[in-house]
């Protein structure tokens, strides 16, 4: 192999390992991107020299046409379950009897039971060869194309000399965060929503097209080995786990080694049950294993499971019950959320009688009606949710969104193109009032430092603060008379209100809490129109000209500013002295993208990179060389590589050339002509 190329491959593989396995990157993104680009350039020029251990070989495989069956030379077993500490202890008592040992003399190794799917990954002479699902334990399916895309699966083992043959077995799973991200995107695109991270992981591993897996947040953690032909010999299971970690795999966190005393199992279970919520991935129990491999071999197997390991399952978190009714709760932003009233049912250690239904689309998706038997799912302290209809009720009736807000009586409307229904009461609606004020006063908005959440809630309940304009009528006596407050704290509050009056137009606009108008959007609108008067006077079409303002946001802005009540509030606030530096109105040269950072990647087909860069800069954007969390948008052309992956991992907006052109084409023409 060309030495410079070999070094580059090794370097990027090492950086991937640091980033995806050790969670400890050692180089800035820019260096990584540069090295990856060099690698791709070299491989494009020398396609015949491409090595299978190159990091470029993770992605880019063609979709498979059919699943190929793979036989497991060493059978992939399942685990027996235990549902209490007594059962767990009894399992090892029995094993100890068979070994003629005392149970307390057994070295036990405990591992979190990861809730995903089992796969076996084969390495020949240290290089990824293929990966297969468990299937029925004897024959699985080849899923190499998807497993190879998982960055925590090494392509080349970090050991020299490598074992001739190594089969690493473990669990592929999706993190809780990756699952949420996937489902949020699915809901937006009207595509399949997964019930839980396990289904999402399994569904992803079974995809024909590896591009899908590459985009999703799959991870792999090993829990053992199958076929093995190598120099290193092992006496303990825990040695194997450490060895796998040393040669490039992630290690299951919170593993523990202890002797087989009842109190140790008890203590370990309590700790794990407590930790469960905080882990980044779902676990559905704990696996206890006898650590000494020789004892494992002596015990062997019964039916499909080993006699040396058992899975202590956490109590079921799903149960079925009947949907008695649905109420609608008005949230802090005016969204009406349907809440299921259920026949009380005991699940995961508590009695559940309410569950969230998210929104009307979800009800439609579940084809749910009042009177149905439903499956509910409880995950820790999170509000239980309805996951499916188990059986249709004999007497059932449809769930309907109320026409009027149950809190303030204003009409309820659905924003076109969205699943949420909202109370149109805005600042009038009590359900939204305190939160609106809290948002307005918060650090990122008006930054009224001494007006905290609790104080706002008390003043709101008392009727002193009914809306954001009332902040400017507050008197020291309103605050000093409250429990726990005094003259001094009252003056501090008034001082911070005074200081907060000097702000920026964008900040003020964001503080108003208009739906869909966040910090960035407000900044864009302010930069575009320059004055509050101009924003108030802007038409729907005018607003659409602002970057990143789509029809939904534009409509919310128009609705907000035409409302007489809101107009009154704004007048009062301005009269109270809230101000910002004036910017000269300059409609000729709108700096649509000022303050934004863009990154270009891949090959553009209809313009050169220089053209795209010049256009973006003429609109006020900065064009940077690498993606970071400060990037606003990535324009990705054909064959975009690591920058695209990075942007997706960070949740940065990515647009293709066609979208870029529809957004900016008219400007591009003006730009080129002029």
Which residues of this chain interact with ligand IVH, rule CB under 6 A?
77-79, 111, 113-114, 118, 171, 223-224, 252, 287, 306, 309, 311
38 catalytic residue (yes or no): no
Q: How far is the CB of 120 from ligand IVH (least distance, A)?
A: 10
How far apart CA 455 and CA 451 sit, in angstroms, is: 6
Q: How far is the CB of 111 from ligand IVH (least distance, A)?
A: 4
Task: Kindly tell me which of 19 and 220 has the beta carbon lying closer to ligand IVH.
Answer: 220
Q: How far is the CB of 25 from ligand IVH (least distance, A)?
A: 27
How far apart CA 28 and CA 283 sit, in angstroms, is: 33
The verdict on whether omega for the bond into residue 161 sits within 30 degrees of 0, i.e. cis, is yes
Marked catalytic residue, from 113, 148, 156, 530: 113
Q: Is the dihedral of CA 3, 9, 11, 14 positive or negative?
A: negative
Q: How far is the CB of 259 from ligand IVH (least distance, A)?
A: 20
Tally of CB atoms within 10 A around 181 = 17
Task: Kindly tell me which of 252 and 377 has the beta carbon lying closer to ligand IVH.
Answer: 252
The verdict on whether omega for the bond into residue 316 sits within 30 degrees of 0, i.e. cis, is no
Task: Judge whether 664 and 656 are in contact, CB under 8 Å.
Answer: no
How far apart CA 661 and CA 145 sit, in angstroms, is: 33
How far apart CA 315 and CA 309 sit, in angstroms, is: 19
Largest CA distance in the chain: 91
Task: Judge whether 370 and 396 are in contact, CB under 8 Å.
Answer: yes
Task: List the structure tokens of 295.
Answer: 């004892």
Task: Kindly tell me which of 215 and 227 has the beta carbon lying closer to ligand IVH.
Answer: 227
Between strands 622-624 and 597-601, the pairing is: parallel
Contacts of 68 (CB under 8 A, 6+ apart): 141, 142
Counting Cβ atoms within 10 Å, is residue 89 exposed (0-12), middle (13-18) or buried (19+)?
buried
Task: Judge whether 422 and 393 are in contact, CB under 8 Å.
Answer: no
Task: Kindly tell me which of 302 and 398 has the beta carbon lying closer to ligand IVH.
Answer: 302
Residue nearest to ligand IVH (CB): 118
Task: Judge whether 379 and 354 are in contact, CB under 8 Å.
Answer: no
Q: How far is the CB of 261 from ligand IVH (least distance, A)?
A: 21
Angle separating helix axes 29-45 and 642-650, nearest 10 degrees: 140
Q: How far is the CB of 309 from ligand IVH (least distance, A)?
A: 5
| Residue 498, H or E segment | helix 487-500
Q: How far is the CB of 264 from ligand IVH (least distance, A)?
A: 18
Task: Kindly tell me which of 119 and 340 has the beta carbon lying closer to ligand IVH.
Answer: 119
Task: Kindly tell me which of 114 and 505 has the beta carbon lying closer to ligand IVH.
Answer: 114
Between strands 69-71 and 218-229, the pairing is: unpaired
Catalytic residues, by residue number, are 113
């Amino acid at each position: 192999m060309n030495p410079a190329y070999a070094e580059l491959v090794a370097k990027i593989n090492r950086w991937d390992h640091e980033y995806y396995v050790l969670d400890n990157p050692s180089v800035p993104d820019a260096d990584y991107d540069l090295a990856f680009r060099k690698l791709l350039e070299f491989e494009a020029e020398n396609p015949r020299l491409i090595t299978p251990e190159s990091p470029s070989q993770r992605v880019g495989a063609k979709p498979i046409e059919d699943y190929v069956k793979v036989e497991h030379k060493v059978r992939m077993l399942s685990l027996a379950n235990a549902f209490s500490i007594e059962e767990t202890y009894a399992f090892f008592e029995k094993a100890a009897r068979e070994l003629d040992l005392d149970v307390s003399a057994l070295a036990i190794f405990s591992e979190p039971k990861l809730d995903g799917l089992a796969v076996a990954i084969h390495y020949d002479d240290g290089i990824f060869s293929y990966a297969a699902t468990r299937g029925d334990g004897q024959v699985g399916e080849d899923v190499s194309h998807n497993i190879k895309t998982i960055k925590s699966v090494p392509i080349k083992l970090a050991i020299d000399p490598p074992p001739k043959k190594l089969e690493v077995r473990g669990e592929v799973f999706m993190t809780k965060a990756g699952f949420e991200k996937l489902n949020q995107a699915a809901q937006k695109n009207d595509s399949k929503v997964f019930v839980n991270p396990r289904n999402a992981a399994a569904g992803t591993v079974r995809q024909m097209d590896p591009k899908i897996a590459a985009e999703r947040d799959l991870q792999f953690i090993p829990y053992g080995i199958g076929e093995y032909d190598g120099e290193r010999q092992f006496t303990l299971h825990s040695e194997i786990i450490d060895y796998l970690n040393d040669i490039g795999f992630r290690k299951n966190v919170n593993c523990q080694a202890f002797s087989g005393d009842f109190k140790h199992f008890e203590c370990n279970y309590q700790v794990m049950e407590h930790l469960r919520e905080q882990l980044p991935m779902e676990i559905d129990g704990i696996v206890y294993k006898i650590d000494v491999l020789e004892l494992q071999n002596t015990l062997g197997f019964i039916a499909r499971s080993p006699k040396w390991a058992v899975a202590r399952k956490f109590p079921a978190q799903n149960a079925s019950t009947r949907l008695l009714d649905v109420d609608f709760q008005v949230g802090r932003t005016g969204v009406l959320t349907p809440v299921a009233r259920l026949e009380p049912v005991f699940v995961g250690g508590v009695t559940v009688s309410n569950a969230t239904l998210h929104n009307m689309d979800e009800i439609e998706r579940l084809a749910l009606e009042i009177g149905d038997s439903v499956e509910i799912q409880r995950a820790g302290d999170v509000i239980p949710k309805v996951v499916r209809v188990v059986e249709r009720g004999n007497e059932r009736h449809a769930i309907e969104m109320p026409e009027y807000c149950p809190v303030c009586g204003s009409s309820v409307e659905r924003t076109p193109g969205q699943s949420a229904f909202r109370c149109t009461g805005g600042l009038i609606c009590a359900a939204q009032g305190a939160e609106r004020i809290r948002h307005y006063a918060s650090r990122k908005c008006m930054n009224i430092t001494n007006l905290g959440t609790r104080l706002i809630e008390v003043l709101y309940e008392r009727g002193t603060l009914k809306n954001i304009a009332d902040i400017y009528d507050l008197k020291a006596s309103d605050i000093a008379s409250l429990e726990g407050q005094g003259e001094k704290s009252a003056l501090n509050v008034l001082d911070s209100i005074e200081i907060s009056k000097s702000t920026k137009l964008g900040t003020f606009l964001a503080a108003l809490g208009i739906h869909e108008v966040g910090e960035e959007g407000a900044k864009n609108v302010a930069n575009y129109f320059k004055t509050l008067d101009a924003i108030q006077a802007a038409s729907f079409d005018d607003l659409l000209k602002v970057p990143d303002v789509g029809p939904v946001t534009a409509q919310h802005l128009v609705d907000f500013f035409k409302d007489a009540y809101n107009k009154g509030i704004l007048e009062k606030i301005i009269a109270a002295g809230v101000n910002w530096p004036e910017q000269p109105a300059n409609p000729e040269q709108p700096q649509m993208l000022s303050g934004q950072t863009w990154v270009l990647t891949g090959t553009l087909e209809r313009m050169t990179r220089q053209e795209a860069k010049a256009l973006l800069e003429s609109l006020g954007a900065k064009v940077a060389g690498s993606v970071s969390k400060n990037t606003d948008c990535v324009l990705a052309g054909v064959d975009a590589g690591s920058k695209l992956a990075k942007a997706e991992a960070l949740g940065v907006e990515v647009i293709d050339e066609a979208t870029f052109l529809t957004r900016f084409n008219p400007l591009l023409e003006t730009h080129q002509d002029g």
